């Protein structure tokens, strides 16, 4: 059993690792190439552009028929840390197992069309704490019929704030 507390952040704190800042900056640069009120497409947020974080990025794809997301790619770094992969499942399963609110954060990110950030404090059944910063970045692609597909790129970075949040 896990106990989780999440805090929605307005932006990145000053003490966040520059690697995290660089990822968000890459999204912002891609966003600058879009029309107003749109999110960067995967054709701009390419594997080359995001290559530095390829082991840290999960891809959550919105399934409108189910009003749900599907974990298309589970980040290798998260799989290594947790010892399990959620690829092919729904973020609801992650929320149920860990007591998180990933699903709500994904919907907020997709609907607001902007990056969102959450500080997550997880305590496992043995009382061990893990702290991280969740970064969610909205994007879009198209399916084989050229219909729009909404996705959210998610990354999780170890983070212990200098000041209590």
Residue 62 has pLDDT above 70, yes or no: yes
Determine the average pLDDT of the residues in 106-128.
Answer: 90
Tell me the β-bridge partners of 41: 140
pLDDT band at 1 (very low <50, low <70, confident <90, very high): low
* Phi/psi at 59 (5° precision): -120, 120
* pLDDT value of position 127: 77
Query: Is pLDDT larger for residue 161 or for residue 27?
Result: 27
Question: Is the pLDDT assigned to residue 34 strictly greater than 70?
Answer: yes
Is the pLDDT reported for residue 61 higher than 60? yes
Average pLDDT over residues 65-70: 96
Higher per-residue pLDDT: 67 or 35 = 67
Task: Tell me how far apart the alpha carbons of residues 116 and 104 are, in angstroms, rounded to a whole number.
Answer: 11
The three-class DSSP label of residue 49 is coil
d(Cα 82, Cα 9) in Å, to the nearest integer?
Answer: 24
Q: How confident is the prediction for the chain on average, in pLDDT?
A: 91
Could you report the per-residue pLDDT of 124-164, keeping only the tens digit for each? 767 788 888 999 999 999 999 999 999 999 999 988 877 65
Give the pLDDT mean for 90-98. Answer: 92
**pLDDT value at residue 161:** 76
CA of residue 155 relative to chain centroid, distance:
5
């Amino acid at each position: 059993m896990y106990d989780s507390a999440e805090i929605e952040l307005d932006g990145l704190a000053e003490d966040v690792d520059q690697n995290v800042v660089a990822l968000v900056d890459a999204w912002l640069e891609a966003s600058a190439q879009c029309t107003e009120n749109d999110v960067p497409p995967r054709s701009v947020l390419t594997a080359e552009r995001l290559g530095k974080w390829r082991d840290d990025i999960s891809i959550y794809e919105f399934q409108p028929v189910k009003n749900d997301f599907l974990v298309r790619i589970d980040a290798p770094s998260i799989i290594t840390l947790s010892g399990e992969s959620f690829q092919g499942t729904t973020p609801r399963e992650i929320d149920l197992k860990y007591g998180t609110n990933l699903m709500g954060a994904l919907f907020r990110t997709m609907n607001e069309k902007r990056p969102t950030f959450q500080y997550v404090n997880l305590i496992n059944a043995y009382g061990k704490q893990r702290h991280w910063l969740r970064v969610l970045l909205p994007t879009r692609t198209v399916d084989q019929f050229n219909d729009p597909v909404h996705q959210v790129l998610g990354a999780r970075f170890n983070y212990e704030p200098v000041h209590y949040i």
